[in-house]
Structure 1
């Protein structure tokens, strides 16, 4: 079986498992380790938007059942998760906070659904672009606000690299799908500030947390080290994710791309494997490090391995250099042995010895990272995946 055939089989396995996340009441819910909906957790916008994105991509690849699932997600983004009074999207059906992280995925989902030709996607895309422009984009400094209350009257005194990173991803898709290249330029600007300026100044470690005036806060959540979205310290998986995204930015900009994008991608990848891979005597990437490069949370997360796979693949294709190809094979071998679950989906969290764990993430709520790891190595770095998926129809 060729690499492409193996990846396609793994992709279809993930899709078959993820279909269970469709909640009859609207949106996509949290799946437990067996693949059943966890009714104790509310339907969340980030999960619904990510799954809408996945099923829109899968629709482009010719899966006959994916269109209805993408439409199911769009319906929730127009319905139970949408604030009809004030505009924008709630964090979940039980949380009226409006966060940059969630809105980045609404934009990504809308772009992918629009590219797939799904009904009502354009309506969501038009609104989310307007909301990001008017509510989340701080034009004075070219960086986003983190969150707002329901009525858009108060914003959080926190700024985050995680939501900023996902705006890079979504802005690249928006530039490709809408044709408005301002989104590509903004993706470049965000990358420059977080990586080329800030990460470089911290020895190619990416600070995650910032004050409202964008000063680094290296002690943020020191007392909540296992926070699933804002853990203390440095999150190695994000260094890998940024490395990949820098190459997508470079490809999107073409001849206008600055040379530092590739150089910084190399530096981040090197920093990740040197500081994060097997540093506690066990294979795999630790979840977080302190600022002396000592492991803080040692669990191995599935999304980190997925991003490692994609970063190694992107660097290998961009440079043709064998070490990146070797790392790609190493990462897939680890994922195959440890994360891919025979009963379906990927085990989201592992103890350092590779056994299942649930200290940070319980269940299997997120198919987005693993799905992209099976697909992106077969796609060009630009344009957006949804625009090129039909070339892989089988």
Structure 2
């Protein structure tokens, strides 16, 4: 990045809507570097020095309200305005950061220099993932689930959709496995009322009916849990090398085999973690994240909303390594990505809807990173 770039001038041009495509790219690229985040905060604080958010140019505000502000209020859970319409300074700055990043991606896609749809830059295009899953009984019976119904409920040993339509019509106490392919996701309510959202290329094994002193499930891949409280029967999630003990909590677990780590993000409540064959048992508090990658648990405070956005149909990245971004894209679009040559030091800041075609997502990443990807069938690689 050119160190002589006049960031203050570019930011001023951005806020008064006089910035062109090249300048917007320079400004956005500058803030891809984590060391420049403090300068971004300073610019934002100066710009949002008033008590209202209406300083955003009207033409921008109208175009991206659904993309940024409503998303912040409803999906992220930031504090909403009081009846007087006043917003706390912390909320305002956090919203400003996300609006800035969302605007960047929005205008990158909207102001394509050729004035064409992103998909025309590629020979082929791929639709985003959908609600797809299979339910496998311990007897080996496989049920292909109805994607339009989106969720199954296990009740009194019987599995049915939310509308009451039966999936498995034979009451049993057997174990079940819900599995999603690449490009699929699904939701299940367990017999105790716990709700689980399963991300792409994942599986959840659970009993049709919980019995005994604990409620135990096994996860491979990624899932978001809203655990029904029952202090007398703790809920336990087993993943590769880790167990999570829960009383009544909302949290996300990412435990894909190809990531070589287990990431647990707590939204609310309390969980206790343990490793197989080890007495270490740290507890997580809301807004904390644990990463287990061999040596032990590493715990840090995070913005939990970033790690559960997939459940609400969003890719949300903040200083996320490009390779990690590509792994998420690979699973959701059912791809085979060749990681050869993809830089490991590029960090992505962006908010992109998961209902976009693959070409749209890659187009945004290309504009952000100055890289170029090639799609052939379901294979994606970096163009030299």
Q: TM-score range by the shorter chain?
A: under 0.3
Q: Which has the higher helix share?
A: 1
Instruction: Return the index of the structure with the highest Cα Rg.
Output: 2
Taking structure 2 as the reference length, what is the TM-score of the superposition?
Answer: 0.28
TM-score by length of 1: 0.27
RCO higher in 1 or 2 (8 Å CA, sep ≥ 6)? 1
Which of the pair is proportionally richer in strand? 2
